[in-house]
Structures are given as structure tokens and as C-alpha cells.
Amino acid sequence: MKKNQLRTQIISFFVALTLLISVIYGLMSFVFAYYVEDHFFNAFIDIESQAISQQIEQGQAVNPRLDFVIFYAEYSELPPDIKQYLTLYPDRTEIPLGNGEHFHLKQFKHGYLLANVSNQLFVSSAKNELLSYLLVIFAFVTVIAILMGVAAYLVAKRLLKPLDELITIIEQAPVDQLPTGFAKHFKSSEIGTFANALEQALTRIHAFIKREQLFTRDISHELRTPVTISQGAITLLKKTTLTEKQTDLIARVEQAQKQIEQSLTTLLALAREETNQPAQTRILPLIEHCILQQHSYLAGKNVKLIVNVKPQQMAPIAETPLLILLNNLIGNAFKYTHSGIIEIIRDSGEGISPHVQQHIFEAGVKGGNSQGLGMGLNIVKRLCEHLAIDYTLNSSDTGSEFIITFK
């Protein structure tokens, strides 16, 4: 977006408004001229009707003083074309005929006065001169508007120069380093106040990012160390003499250990916004792996499991993030389906209420029967957005369906 777009819009609006007012003024001038002309005609006829009334009341012969005014004692005496027009428009006092003649009609107690004003229409006869005059005025106003627009542009440029400088500072700042200490270069105006507020906000953001970076570094070190130690302990334990039950438990612990390490790697990469290299992963083995990890949630439930995935079907995603996605989705399906069918990945559980659906992918949001922390689907959302994967939730009282579309 261009920096001067706002000021250009303001100036363009100012010039357009000025020209619009000029046009409206011109049109109103014509309307006013016609109004004044009609007002004069009506005033003349009113005066004439009063004079004729006096003549009639004094027994004198009716003699209109204006040569374009004719007195008719009865309606029937009016010219046929006038009566024909009044038949169509009985309330009209201004009568324009098709032959170019123009009349004003006044009814009073002694009869009718008909004024043929065809030769007295000053506005119509001087329309071209008035139009030329208004065009000259319009051209003059246009020039004035353009000059004022240029002046306004120069003033706006000077007033908005600090804002341009502020935008330049923000745009030229390195991606990994937010600008600081720039507010002092701006005067104590609205832009200076904005610059100061922006600097304070950027300072808080910088501190927050720094804390997040330190947290990511520390959590990586503090979690990897015990994970490595426990993995070594499991390896040593496997070399000792164990019963069959102990061997099975050690295998489950080792599997959970690997899952922790995989999740840690992926979530730390997500926190660091690292970009995964393009990969192709077979889906079915990971689904089977997730089913084995989550199968304990189906213990004692009357649930039928259906997997409609072809053995050679591939996904353009690395194995670890895909495993986390599937673990969360399959784990949810296993946890909240008490009976019925689970089709990877669709279940016949109670579904998610419409109110919860609106926020289900937000951190900490979960259903009323959930025993978890409400983080699983938020992790799914973040991974999908990070890896440019489309995700959709369809849920009703008959179950829920999650659709993941790889681009």
C-alpha cells in the first residue's frame, strides 16, 4: 500500500466535494430563477385580480391593465385547449401547451384571469446565457478547488511527514530485531503520542519474545536431559532378567518415552517456527502405531474400529508431526466414543455442542465430559497451520468427523 494513499484520498474527496457543491449550486440557481420568475407572474396576476375586483364592484367595465392578461367571467369561456389541459390536470395554475405557449391561470370570486406569459419567460429565453455564466463559475470554482487541493496536499504532506518517517522505521527494522528508542525523535503531537505508545508496545512484545525464546531453550534442555537419562535407564533395565509382565511394561514405557521425545522435537520446532523439509510418509503404519498406543481407551467398550486407508497411501508430511496429529485425533475418538463405530477419522460419539465447536481449536477449550486439558486440538490446529494443511470439523449429536487435506 502506498504511503500517500490516505492523503490522496482526503484531497480527492475534498476536490470532489467542492465540485459537487458547485454542480448542486448551479442546479439550484436554475431552480431559484424559475421560482422567482413564477413568483413574479403570480404576484402580477394577484394585483391584477384585485384591480379587476374593484372595477366590477364599482360597476366599471373590466379592463385588465396588463396586455397579456385576459379576463373570463365563466369557466366555459376559457379557450378549448386550456379547458382540455385542466381536464387532465384540474389543480394546475401553470399551463404549458404543446405549441410552446405558456399560461398562468388564477381563479378568483369574479371569474378567471389567464395570463399568456410566453413572451415574458425571461429564464427560458436567457437559459443559454445563464448556462454559460454557470459554466464560467464552475470552471472558476474548479480551478480554485484544484489550487486548494494542491495546497491541502502540501499541508498534508508536511503534517504527515512524521507518520511517513515512523512507517519507514517500522518497515526497515530487521525481522529479528524490533525497533526501539525512536519515539524521542517525534514532537509532542498526536503522532508523537502514537509513536510513544507504539514503542512501549514493541518493547513489551520484544520482552515477551525474549521470554519465549529463553523458555523454549530452557525447556528443551531441561526435558531432553531427563528423557535421555530415563532412556538410558530403560536400555540398562532391558539387559537384566525380567519376567514377561515386566518386559511388557518396559516396552510400554519405552514406547511412551519415544512418543515424548517425538512430541518434544515437533513442538519445539513449532515454537521456533522451523520449516520442515518436504517429506513423504506412509499413513497406514502410523495409524496402526497410534491405535496400539491409544488402544487402552477402548478397554471395556462396545466399539467397532474401521480403518479405510490404503497400504501404500502417502502424505506429504514428515513422520513425527503426522504422528502427533494422528495421536491427538485418534486419541480423542477413542476417549469420547463409548459405543458404536470409529472410522479413521470419524466417530459415533456424543458429538461436540455447537457452542463449543466455535472455539474447539482454541487452547484450553474442551467439552463438558472431557477429562483432558483441552490442548490436543489446539496442537492439531497449530501444526496444520504451520505445515499448510487444511483441517475441518463436522460434528453433530451422532458423532464427529475431522477432515485433514494435504495440499
DSSP type of residue 263: H
Calpha distance 73→92 (Å, rounded)? 19
The answer on 282 and 399 residing in a single domain is yes
> Has residue 144 been placed in a domain?
no
pLDDT of residue 1: 45
The answer on 132 and 11 residing in a single domain is yes
The answer on 242 and 310 residing in a single domain is no
Q: What is the mean pLDDT of residues 199-223?
A: 79
Q: What is the mean pLDDT of residues 261-266?
A: 72
pLDDT tens-digit readout, 374-394: 777 888 888 888 788 888 888
The answer on 380 and 290 residing in a single domain is yes
Mark out the alpha helices in 104-178 (DSSP H runs). 122-125, 127-172
205 band by pLDDT with thresholds 50, 70 and 90:
confident
3-state secondary structure 178-206: CCCCCHHHCCCCHHHHHHHHHHHHHHHHH
pLDDT tens-digit readout, 120-169: 777 776 677 777 877 888 788 778 877 877 887 788 778 777 877 887 88
Out of 236, 257, 274, pick the residue that ends a domain. Answer: 274
The answer on 395 and 301 residing in a single domain is yes
pLDDT of residue 273: 58
**Residues 289, 322: contact at Cβ < 8 Å?**
no
The answer on 215 and 281 residing in a single domain is no
Q: Per DSSP, which regions of 27-157 are E strands?
A: 69-72, 94-96, 102-108, 111-116
Q: Cis peptide leading into 345, omega within 30 of 0?
A: yes
Q: What is the mean pLDDT of residues 179-200?
A: 81
pLDDT of residue 276: 53
For the ranges 70-84, 98-112, 179-193, the lowest mean pLDDT is seen at 179-193
Give the total number of structural domains in the chain. Answer: 3
For the ranges 108-112, 244-248, 275-279, the lowest mean pLDDT is seen at 275-279
251 band by pLDDT with thresholds 50, 70 and 90:
confident
Instruction: Write out the residue range of the structural domain in which residue 235 sits.
Output: 176-274
The answer on 128 and 44 residing in a single domain is yes
The answer on 200 and 301 residing in a single domain is no
pLDDT tens-digit readout, 291-324: 888 888 888 889 899 888 888 889 888 887 888 8
The answer on 55 and 14 residing in a single domain is yes
Q: Which amino acid is at 34?
A: Y
**In percent, how much of the chain has pLDDT > 90?**
1
pLDDT of residue 6: 66
> Has residue 145 been placed in a domain?
no
Indicate which CATH number applies to the domain containing 261: 1.10.287
**In percent, how much of the chain has pLDDT > 70?**
91
For the question of whether the overall pTM of this predicted structure is more than 0.95, the answer is no
56 band by pLDDT with thresholds 50, 70 and 90:
confident
Mean pLDDT, all residues of the chain: 81
The answer on 290 and 186 residing in a single domain is no
278 band by pLDDT with thresholds 50, 70 and 90:
low
Whether the pLDDT of residue 199 is over 80: the answer is: yes
